[in-house]
Amino acid sequence: MEYRHATVLLHEAVEQLVTDPDGVYVDCTLGGAGHTALLLSFLSEKGRVIGIDRDEAAVLNAERTLNDSRLILCRSNFSEIDRIVREFSPGGVNGILADLGVSSPQLDDPERGFSYSSDARLDMRMDRSQPFSAYDVVNTYSKDDLTRILRDYGEERFASRIAERIVRARENGPVETTAQLTSIVAPAIPKQDKKEGHPCKRTFQAIRIEVNSELSSISELVEKGIPCLKTGGRMVIISFHSLEDRIVKNAFHTAENPCICPKDFPVCVCGRKPLVRVLTKKPILPSAEEISSNNRSHSAKMRVCEKIPEETGKEDR
C-alpha cells in the first residue's frame, strides 16, 4: 500500500524550525515524510535529520522515497528522544519537530482498525509490534475505566452511558470489530447531539489515545526534548485536539516560567531558571486555503519555543 499523507502546516513548521542549515534536526513523527523531505531541502550537505516513527510502515516509506545520506531513520517512540539524541547527536540538536496527528494511511487502511467508517478488527496500534490493542481496551476494561478514558481522552459527555452499553454487549461475546463498536456506541448518543459530527468520533479518539499512551508521550517529549536542544534551537509541535494542545501549551509555559516560589516572594529562591522562550503566544493555524484542500487540517495548532542560554534566567521576580 502506497503511503499517501497530506502534511499539515508543512512550510510553516519547517520555516519555524530551521535556524542553521548546517544543523541537526529531529522529526519525531515521520508519517508520510512530508516535513522531513522539506526539511532536508533547507539543509546544507553538512545538515542532518533524525527521523523517528513507531510505525514500521512510515520508516520504510521514508527509507524508500527519500534515500538521502543525511537522513538517519529510527523506529521508536518519540518519548525516547533523549536516548536517541545521545546515540546519534550527543552534542545536542538544533531543532525538534512533532506532528501529533494520526497519519492518513493509518486512518485510511481498514486493517489498522482506527476508523469508524470501515469495518475491521479493533486494533488502533501505531506500533503494530506492541501486543496491547483497542480490542483489549474494549473487552477487558471495567465500566469505570471505560468511562474514565471516554470522559478524559474523548471529552465525551455520554461516557458512562457508552461504557455501560459496551460492558453489556460483552456479555454476549467479545466486541471484535470497529463495526460492532460503532453499532454499540451510536445509539447511546441522543439524536440532537449527532449533529456535532459522527457519534463515534470521540469514543474512537479516546480508545486510540489509551492504546498508544499518546498524552503521556507528549509530556515526555517536551520534558526530555528541551535539554537536547542547543542554545537557539527550537521545538515545534503541531497538535490536533484540545487535550494535546493544552499539554503542549502548559509544558512550554512551565519551561519558560519554572519558578515555584510563592508569588509574594521578592526574589526567586527555588533556583529554577527559564529553559526556553515561547515564540507563539497564540498558536499558528492552517490557512483557509490549506483547510479547503485538506479538511483534516482544520483543527491543527502549532506552538514553538526556543532554547535560551542558562545564564539568561534571572533571580529577580
Q: Which residue has the cell 534515500?
A: 67
> Mean pLDDT score of the chain, rounded to an integer?
92
Is residue 311 over pLDDT 80? no
6-15, 21-30, 188-197, 221-230: least confident range: 188-197
The model carries a pTM of 0.89
177: which DSSP letter?
Answer: B
User: What's the CATH code, domain 129-212?
Assistant: 1.10.150.170
According to the model, what pLDDT value does residue 103 have?
73
Averaged over 110-133, what is the pLDDT?
A: 91
Cα–Cα distances in angstroms (integers) from residue 106 to residues 115, 116, 273, in the given order:
9, 13, 41
According to the model, what pLDDT value does residue 4 have?
56
Is residue 317 over pLDDT 50? no
Chain centroid offset of residue 14 CA: 17
pLDDT digit string, tens, across residues 77-116: 999 999 999 999 999 999 999 999 877 667 777 788 888 8
Averaged over 278-287, what is the pLDDT?
A: 96
Residues 6+ apart with CB under 8 A from 247: 215, 218, 219, 222, 239
What class has domain 10-99+214-312? alpha beta
Averaged over 120-131, what is the pLDDT?
A: 93
Confidence band for 315, pLDDT divided at 50, 70 and 90 = very low
Residues 6+ apart with CB under 8 A from 190: 158
DSSP 95-125: EEEEE-SPPHHHHH-GGG---SSS--BS---
- Domain locations in the chain? 10-99+214-312, 129-212
Quickly count: other Cβ atoms within 10 Å of residue 143's Cβ.
Answer: 15
Averaged over 31-45, what is the pLDDT?
A: 96
Is residue 123 over pLDDT 60? yes
pLDDT digit string, tens, across residues 148-164: 999 999 999 999 999 99
